[in-house]
Amino acid sequence: MMKKYFLLAFSLVFGISQSQIIRKYSNEFLNIGAGARGLAMGGAVVTNQDDVYSPMWNPAGLMAIEKDWQGAAMHAEYFESIAKYDYLAYAKVLETGVFGVSVVRLGVDNILNTTQLIDTEGNIDYDKITKFSQSDYAAILSYAFNPAGNTKLDVGINAKIVYRNVGKFANGYGFGFDIGAIYKMDNGWKIGGMLRDATTTVNFWSVNQKELSTVVNGEEFNPAPKDKMELTMPKLNAGVSKTFNINSSVYVLPEAGINVDFAKTAALLSTDFASITPYAGAELGYQKMIFVRLGVNRFQSITDIEDVSRTKVSFQPSAGIGIRYRGLTLDYAITNSGIGGSNFYSNFFSLKLDMGQFRND
């Protein structure tokens, strides 16, 4: 366990010192998603997440809330509980649309700080090892509406304020916008998409050089980065879905789509301009009370360690269940990280209160 903390601390500090103006994976904690339903379906909810969790998938989905208000909460733990992820949200129906507010936190506590482990003369002093926490926060204000009163088209906008803290080493503040839309066709099909960081999200970093650096035998390690501004490039998630009624009690809701990063990544289809990876998921529901879900996402090409001339495909599978009673819904999801075939499984629990449904029942 001590080795894990040391490696994590090293990667965090090294990541700061090597920061660039444009980063492929900055603010990635906002791409995790929220709500065990969407996570169980592999993120295949871009066109069908119709509740208070939708700002994390597509803010246009808020328009499906018809009455009163909804509240939600989710907790999850990653990598044997080293990282903790929390989400709180509230959505209220207004005369002209639906307003929502969400708060997100991803944090790692008790990380070993070894920056002062070696003194100026090169001697190791274990008493100088301390601990720190790394946390990412975001507050999201959302608004969804029907443009020009067109009920077939739902549009949603997120305004994001980001705060990132790496112990005493650095702080970062950022802001940005997302925009999403869902079009409902007469034959029951839905098509939609969400453009994350539509205007390019900007983070401004402040680094505490005194805490970050260390001098050994006259040589400085961990110098402060030159670039204090970080840009998060846009990402596009687009999908299509339709509900198929098996009988009066049972339905199946599948969705498939693509995730597009406007950068070269390890995706299955990758160019200098954009990288594309597919996703798919489905929900089986019984009387809109009991739900079973499956999904797959994050397909990547990974180089074989034993033979660098060969590559293999990794992906992130997921599954989950849910139960609804009156206006209260409890969902559960389990998913593998999908990184190099690792066995890190994460459990997600989320709760939703739909006051409009509760009073109606």
Residue 61 φ then ψ, to 5°: -65, -15
- Is residue 275 a contact partner of residue 298, using CB atoms and an 8 Å limit? no
Least confident of 39-53, 137-151, 219-233, 238-252: 219-233
Tell whether the model's pLDDT for residue 230 goes beyond 90. no
**Residue 149 class from Cβ within 10 Å (0-12 exposed, 13-18 middle, 19+ buried)?**
exposed
Residues in Cβ contact with 221 at an 8 Å cutoff, skipping those fewer than 6 apart: 213, 214, 215
The DSSP bridge partners found for residue 8 are none
Q: Which two tokens stand for residue 293?
A: 């879900």
User: Which of 108, 80, 82, 111 has the alpha carbon at shortest distance from 343?
Assistant: 80
**Any idea what DSSP says for residue 261?**
E
**Any idea what DSSP says for residue 223?**
P
Tell whether the model's pLDDT for residue 39 goes beyond 90. yes
Tell whether the model's pLDDT for residue 31 goes beyond 90. no
Cα–Cα distance, 316 to 279 (Å, whole number)? 10
Q: What is the DSSP string of 267-306?
A: BSEE-SS-EEEEEEEEEEEETTTEEEEEEEEEEEEEE-SS
In degrees, to the nearest 5, what angle opens at C-alpha 41 toward C-alphas 49 and 290?
Answer: 80
User: Mean pLDDT throughout 241-249?
Assistant: 95
Give pLDDT, residue 301. Answer: 76
Give pLDDT, residue 11. Answer: 40
Give pLDDT, residue 226. Answer: 61
Percent of the chain with pLDDT over 90: 49
Q: What is the pLDDT of residues 138-196, one digit of tens each?
A: 999 999 999 999 999 999 999 999 999 887 788 889 999 999 999 999 999 999 999 99
CB count in 10 Å sphere of residue 323: 12
Against a cut of 0.85, is the pTM above it?
no
Percent of the chain as helix, strand, coil, to the nearest 5:
15, 55, 30
Q: What is the pLDDT of residues 285-342, one digit of tens each?
A: 999 899 999 999 988 777 666 665 677 777 889 999 999 998 899 999 998 754 444 5
User: Which of 65, 37, 41, 44 has the alpha carbon at shortest distance from 322?
Assistant: 37
